Amino acid sequence: MTPTTILRRLKTTAPRPRVGRVAVVVVPARPGRRDRARRAAVAVVTGAVVALAAQVALGVAVNTEVSPLRDPLYFDKLALLRTHPAFFAAADRPTTVLLVGSSRTLNAVNARRATDALTQHLGRPVSVFNFGQAGAGPVTNAVYLRRLADAGVRADFALIEVHPVFLAGQHAVTPEARWLLPTRLRPAELPVVRGMGFPADAPPTHGPRGLLASVYEQRFLLLDRYAPWMLMDNRRLNGGHEPDAFGFCRPPDVCTPKDRAALTRLTHLQYAAYFPGYRPTGCGASAVRDTLEQCRARGIRPALALMPECGGWETWYDAEGLRQLDTLLANLSAEFGAPLIDARRWVTVEETMDGHHLTGRGADRFTDVLARDALAPWLGGAR
């Protein structure tokens, strides 16, 4: 074998050098400024759409009353009333008695106790419910009675409180306007209360703001209902007026003379502008008539009630105004066949917190007297 042949074989059989493998790493390109701006815009628009949808959804819920935020006091009390099926049954039900009025009624009539007493006195089933509300006057009573009838409530008898101060017509502004804000009213109720003389401009919540800014418009009520711990000093809308299953809110059983004197002074300051020159000619007087007309139209037997006032109250009013009040109520009582229960002097000052809100023990005695001496004869004689 020649040297040339040997060299050729060595070249063909010798191992070839391996070429090293190179790992290829793909690095994503950084988004450009235009892409980042587009993504930010999408996020902003999406957030705005979600926020607007939430606002509109809340507004629709309030307007359709799926949510109780328009008038929580009313809707919470209605929910309690729904637990008393007698007020919604068409037949084969106990005699039903509905009480409407202010905190005077709310704190004075123990409806559970009255139910038991009347059932015993009359020898037949009776169901009493206290629909009194803090700050409710004659206009509120008229609105609530309409709502309750529309909700299917069937009351055989209605005890309608007349709060004399809320009838004052000599003052430019009715005291009930402090509590019955137009935001609590349905749009269809505005012309009704205006017809009684009650000032009620259409609130922003009845317009576009009620849908597009509902969270802002309902901010306090949202916190009050769903996050009360966020309220300053936990001052809730219905704080101190939480009712029992029959709608009665029991006050403290006793009140010391010192506390009573302080509370009476505060009460006088609250209503001081309405006592001088008192005349029962305001929108409240029209609202009482309206309520009686509603009762007549709906087959409800009404009675009017003046709740306790003592400890100085009797000296605060203008005397001529009180005489006119007596005449007004006597005429309404005769016109509508509605008994007038004058309970202004039924309790002692020691049985009150401030001369017109009763203590718990005062409410017990007052309820017993009311049921025995007024309600039982009224219900028993109405056939």
Q: What is the mean pLDDT of residues 44-59?
A: 83
154 near 88, Cβ under 8 Å?
yes
Going by C-alpha positions, the residue among 153, 150, 212, 224 that lies closest to residue 186 is: 150
Q: What is the pTM of this model?
A: 0.86
Structure tokens at 381: 């004689």
Structure tokens at 119: 């059932």
At residue 159, the 3 state secondary structure works out as strand
Buried b (16+ CB within 10 A) or exposed e, 138-155: bbbbbbbbbbbbeeebbb
Q: Is the pLDDT of residue 224 over 70?
A: yes
Rounded to a whole number of angstroms, the distance between the first and last alpha carbons of the chain is: 144
Over the stretch 334-346, which tens digit does the pLDDT of each residue have?
A: 999 999 999 999 9
Q: What is the mean pLDDT of residues 1-13?
A: 55
Q: Is the pLDDT of residue 143 over 70?
A: yes
Strand-pairing partners, residue 305, are 161, 341
Residue 71's φ and ψ, nearest 5 degrees, are -150, 75
Looking at residue 238, what is its pLDDT?
A: 64
At residue 322, the 3 state secondary structure works out as helix
Integer Cα distance of 106 and 132 in angstroms: 4
Going by C-alpha positions, the residue among 365, 284, 262, 302 that lies closest to residue 156 is: 302
In sequence order, what E strands does 92-184 have? 95-100, 126-130, 157-161
Q: What is the DSSP letter of 352?
A: B
Sheet of strand 340-342: strand arrangement: 126-130, 95-100, 157-161, 301-306, 340-342
Q: What is the mean pLDDT of residues 262-286?
A: 95
Q: Say which residue, 7 or 177, is predicted with more confidence.
A: 177
Indicate the pLDDT class of residue 25, thresholds 50, 70 and 90.
Answer: low
Looking at residue 225, what is its pLDDT?
A: 79
Residue 233's φ and ψ, nearest 5 degrees, are 60, 20
Residue 32's φ and ψ, nearest 5 degrees, are -75, 170
Q: Is the pLDDT of residue 1 over 90?
A: no
Find where tokens 């401030």 sit. 354
At residue 305, the 3 state secondary structure works out as strand
Q: Say which residue, 4 or 338, is predicted with more confidence.
A: 338
Q: Is the pLDDT of residue 242 over 90?
A: no
Relative orientation angle of helices 138-150 and 72-81, to the nearest 10 degrees: 50
Going by C-alpha positions, the residue among 137, 77, 193, 118 that lies closest to residue 307 is: 137
Looking at residue 190, what is its pLDDT?
A: 96
| Choice among 138-142, 161-165, 216-220 with the minimum mean pLDDT | 216-220
CA distances from 14 to 7, 10, 29, 76 (A): 11, 6, 45, 98
Indicate the pLDDT class of residue 16, thresholds 50, 70 and 90.
Answer: low
Find where tokens 């809707």 sit. 75
Q: Is the pLDDT of residue 30 over 80?
A: no
Question: Amino acid identity, residue 41?
Answer: A
CATH 3.50.50.60 is the classification of domain 70-173+249-381: no
Going by C-alpha positions, the residue among 247, 226, 302 that lies closest to residue 82 is: 247
Looking at residue 159, what is its pLDDT?
A: 98
Q: Is the pLDDT of residue 374 over 70?
A: yes
Indicate the pLDDT class of residue 22, thresholds 50, 70 and 90.
Answer: low
Looking at residue 107, what is its pLDDT?
A: 96
The domain locations on the chain are 70-173+249-381
Q: How many CB atoms lie within 10 A of CB 360?
A: 16
Going by C-alpha positions, the residue among 193, 214, 195, 190 that lies closest to residue 204 is: 214
